[in-house]
Amino acid sequence: MIKLLIAVVAIALAYWIYRLKKQHFFVRHKSPEPVITTLEGAEVRAFLDWDTPTECLRDDGLRCGEQFRAKQPPDLPHSERCQCEAVKLFYTSAEVFQGTSTPTSRKSGLGELPGEVALALRLLLLELHDSSIKESFMEFWERLGAERIPEEWQEPMRQLLSQTHEGLHHTPEST
């Protein structure tokens, strides 16, 4: 009889535990869903060409806004040759902090450029503007050019950069 009583109590206890578990007493709480916020700002975009001013190249890609390091965009135009524009942007926090945003195409003297090609062109133009090394364009191109650029853009960019080099290193005495 005692064995039967123990068996009934064990079954009753097992059933009670099963019901408690079903009522979520033993279920762990789910972690809260992440909150995705939208960040609003502006990005300075320069028209990338052989005669783009240095200050435009330096500010190109600068993001400004309440949640960004730079709160206000620079005064535009930078100079009389400046073709920069401040473009309104809206990002989710995931795009900004996890790096999931995709590069956008950019306007240039070569037409619309994919984001990564535009970045390469901008960096090469800046290198030409900032370079204190007196070198020929071919030396510059061999040192920095071709490996940064996708093959289909190499020749048009080489011509544009060559024109920039001539414009920067043209002296009044040589005419």
In order, the DSSP letters of 43-67 are EEE--BSTT--HHHHHHTT-EESTT
Regions of the chain where pLDDT drops below 50 = 171-175
Predicted pLDDT at 85: 92
Predicted pLDDT at 11: 94
Predicted pLDDT at 100: 60
Q: Name the residue among 128, 117, 106 with its Cα closest to residue 54.
A: 128
Q: What is the pTM of this model?
A: 0.68
Q: Is the peptide bond before 77 cis (omega within 30 degrees of 0)?
A: yes
How many CA within 13 A on the CB side of residue 125? 29
Predicted pLDDT at 173: 43
Predicted pLDDT at 28: 60
d(CA 123, CA 27): 55
